[in-house]
Amino acid sequence: MALVLILMTVGLIVIFSASSVLSFVRYGNNYYFILRQLIFTAIGLAIMFILSYIDYHLWKKWAFYFLLAGLAVLAVVLLPKIGFQVGNARRGVNLGWFLIQPSEFVKLLLILYLASWFDRKKDAESNFWFGIIPPLLLTGLSVGLVVLEPDLGTAIMMCLIIFVMLFAAGTKIRYLVALAAMFVAGAWILIAAAPYRAARLVTFFDPSLDPQGIGYHINQALLAIGSGGFWGYGYGGSRQKHNYLPEPIGDSIFAVMAEELGLFRIVAVVGVFWLLAMKGVKVARSAPDKFGQLIAMGVTSWIILQTIINIGAITNFLPLTGIPMPFISYGGSSLLSLCAAVGILLNISKQRV
């Protein structure tokens, strides 16, 4: 809990700085986004506290139905006049004050469902047709609905969570290799089918090809990170947040952090994530049953893999994916879903042997 609170505090501090210009340009004051994030944080902490006191075994009974409900909401998002549309994408439902993005919550539902499946079905991990394929059909449907939004980055993140869950459950290596090959082939087809995705991949290999077009985002991010040096410009000193860097409080927040805080302080923040990974694995190893072990591994892998992908993308070690940085990027859906996951993880920790 202490590690998560540190990350959430860092997120608030960074968002306060990174959002000041954007808040003023859009809403005429410097505090719009930070005030909303403070409200999200308070709600998230309440959810985390409540779920930490609810026996995690309760979720085993309802995991399947929760995932069905999640699939229904993902389908509703795609409907015209219901799903909130930005450009050609429908990724959320506008509730007025709050734009909810269901795919963030479905990540947790996938973890609960797969943990429940492999806990209830004896030797399911060793039976490809009757133990592996049935849960993959349901989880694969959720991934497919997210692809249709379209949100390939979140879909890839969901696939990685599913893969880790299968590995943690003890699925045979040859099955994992086959599924990984199918995943790579599917991702390649989706990238080739969308010109903007293919262009983004080309830019990943050579950001200098179109610095004012498709390569603008990554070039501005690299400029911010490089300008920060070892110690950074100091808190509030970012140049790139002044309408140069796209999404300075969302997917690109790491670049603003690097520009203001510098390499050494950024390494300290990454170190907190590393400690969180170690604690999460420890909780998984000492969980009293397979259900708890799989949930702990799923939640931990979700947080850490999403952090790696976010940092990797904004530093050009991976193609840009549009995935937020856990606990730090601005956004209610991401923060609330992660707080719920950590609440369940805390309850597992209380019951460990």
- Taking a C-beta distance cutoff of 8 angstroms, is the pair 59, 347 a contact? no
- 320-335 residue pLDDT tens: 888 999 999 998 999 9
Tokens of 171: 């699925």
Task: Write the Ramachandran bin of 226: left for phi over 0, alpha for psi from -120 to 50, otherwise beta.
Answer: alpha
**What confidence score (pLDDT) does residue 95 get?**
73
Residue 324, judged by CB atoms within 10 A of its CB (0-12, 13-18, 19+), counts as buried
**What confidence score (pLDDT) does residue 87 get?**
64
Q: Give SS3 for 183.
A: helix
- 231-267 residue pLDDT tens: 999 999 899 999 899 889 999 999 999 999 999 999 9
- Taking a C-beta distance cutoff of 8 angstroms, is the pair 249, 242 a contact? no
**What confidence score (pLDDT) does residue 136 get?**
93
Q: Give SS3 for 284.
A: helix
**What confidence score (pLDDT) does residue 197 get?**
79
DSSP secondary structure string for all residues of 58-107 = HHHHHHHHHHHHHHHHHHHHTSTTTEEEETTEEEEEE-SS-EE-HHHHHH
Instruction: Give pLDDT < 50 ranges for the chain.
Output: none
